[in-house]
Amino acid sequence: MPGTVLVERGDGVLTITLNRPAQKNAVNHDVAVELGAALDLLDNDPALSVGVLTGAGGTFCAGMDLKAFARGELPVLDGRGFGGLTRAQVHKPLIAAVEGWALGGGFELALACDLIVAAQDASFGFPEVKRGLVASEGGLLRLPRRIPYHVALRVLLTGDPLFAPEAAEHGLLAADVTAAGGALEAAHQLAHHIAANAPLALAAVKDIVRADERAAFERQDPIVARLVASADAHEGARSFAERRPPVWHGR
């Protein structure tokens, strides 16, 4: 049986594919472990220079697998964050190739990559506030650094989607949007262009540009912990399960 994460090498590029298409590539513990292993392969193999992360079946990633979470699975790895990626120190460049939805934790996986390439029909979103939560695995920290502040806050505060053409307009994407189905090819073109450069220089760029991210997570986490323990967070989960509007208490 194929794994939940597939890897394929080619000319210095490692293509990493989330492979749960029937679940819209939602992340469970197995995905986190296998994605973490794929990223270790990328960093530790001197024949590889760049990684490309994508999803099977026309969807990048729908976020956390809520059914698995309800069974007690937590798709977070110590020191590496959600999906084994959002807090990981990956030294080689990583490009997200997005088709369809990159939702919640899926959007955070894309933002954890260094560059994003997307198809015309791609959509990004953080619906967490609709459930009394926030995008705590990099969404709050990275999105306002990637696009204009007021646009990032609109996405984070409303929970409404950001569609690929507007994402490109605001500079979230590293290239023009592609036709549907074309994101992976465009990401490979960009990856091979980057892979022609000096490996140590590429790693140095990443290490310097991302040097302050770990401290930012440390400042954020106590605030998020209080929110997760709140009555509103529990109400958000219950109302979602019961298919009714939430009744917020502000505590």
Residue whose C-alpha is closest to residue 18's, from 87, 49, 64: 64
Tokens linked to 166? 């507007």
Residue type, 162: L
Q: Please report, for residues 28, 92, 181, 188, 189, the alpha-carbon distance to residue 84 in angstroms, rounded to integers and kept in the order given.
A: 10, 15, 26, 22, 26
Q: Say whether 8 sits in a helix, a strand or coil.
A: strand
106, 88 Cβ separation under 8 angstroms: no
**Dihedral class, residue 181 (left if φ above 0, else alpha if ψ from -120 to 50, else beta):** left
Catalytic residue among 73, 128, 166, 218: 128
Which of the residues 34, 73, 99, 108 is marked catalytic?
108
CA 79, CA 167: separation in Å to the nearest integer?
29
To the query of whether residue 73 is one of the catalytic residues in this protein, the response is no
- Distance CA(22)–CA(124), nearest Å, equals 19
Active site residue 213: no
**DSSP track, 24-71:** TT-B-HHHHHHHHHHHHHHHH-TT--EEEEEEGGG-SB--B-HHHHHT
Beta bridge partners of 53: 16, 96
Enzyme catalytic residues: 108, 128
